[in-house]
Amino acid sequence: MNNSEILFIYDAQMCNPNGDPDEENRPRMDYPTQTNLVSDVRLKRYIRDYLQEKGHELYVQKGEAGKTVNASERIKQALGREKSTKLGAEDLKVVLEKLIDVRLFGATMPIKLEGKGQSIAFTGPVQFNWGYSLNRVYLLDTKSITSHFSSESGKEQGAIGKDYRVKYSLIAFHGIISGYNAKNTALQEQDVALLDKAILKAIPLHATRSKVGQEPRLYIRVEYNSDDFILGDLRKWVKYSSQDEKKDDEVFSVQDARLDITPLVEKLRNHEAQIAQVKIWKDSELRLSGALDSLPKMSPLSF
């Protein structure tokens, strides 16, 4: 398998894209720059939830009533046996064949393989760094919320909490699919095609109360023709601006935003010889400067 790089942009309006448990679940922020942050773990959680809902077996998955399944127990289930601490090469092959999230994201498993230690680690070929907002993000004034039921037996009043949300955030992720690491987890081309679909489908389909208001806007996956070439963070060549340059701070919906992808198109065209294909999907509401149809070896995605 060859290397790929991913640019994924989605937006969040009047919601909390990724709460920070160290900050009373406030949206993750870099306050000096007013940049909204979203962890790679949050994005992978969306993808896993989508894959599990579609019937795929996972290593990291929710059990009944939303509980996470114990790691050793999950390996037992995948192998269909009572014990899973000592595995042979064929057992490991079965585990990789069954658990798509290990093929994608890797894992550290508490198993002993042919006397090579107490655990085995797979470096996932699919990795994302943290997402960040392309625009300056403002938080809504904090609101208190109450639950209908009391927090403790005997209390009449429901529990009181805080509801933190962003006004509008246009969030960009960069990801890499390593052809080298794909060999170690037996990642297949059909897995990558499923990843394309999961990234675009997962966020709006798995909305919770605090996550309603998020929509995918742009997805580009650049597949190279070797496993030893990458361009680097594709976000560097995407420029954000508001529709009204005099009101750059007043961006509260996708209709207020514009992305200039001209530098990215030029960068990809300058490296066309290293590119096998460019998979692309764009939401009709997103306004772009720069011609997507001039991307080299473009292959539109539709689901």
pLDDT tens figures, 175-234: 999 999 999 999 999 999 999 999 999 999 988 888 899 999 999 999 999 999 999 999
Which two tokens mark 150?
């009391």
DSSP 61-79: -B-GGGPBPPHHHHHHHHH
Q: Which of 45, 32, 26 is nearest to 166 (CA)?
A: 26
Residue 153 has pLDDT above 60, yes or no: no
pLDDT digits (tens, 9 = 90+) for 16-42: 999 999 999 999 999 999 999 999 999
Residue with tokens 């429901």: 158
At 116, the pLDDT band (50, 70, 90 cuts) reads low
In terms of Cβ atoms closer than 10 Å to its own Cβ (0-12, 13-18, 19+), residue 232 is exposed
Cβ(87)–Cβ(115) below 8 Å: no
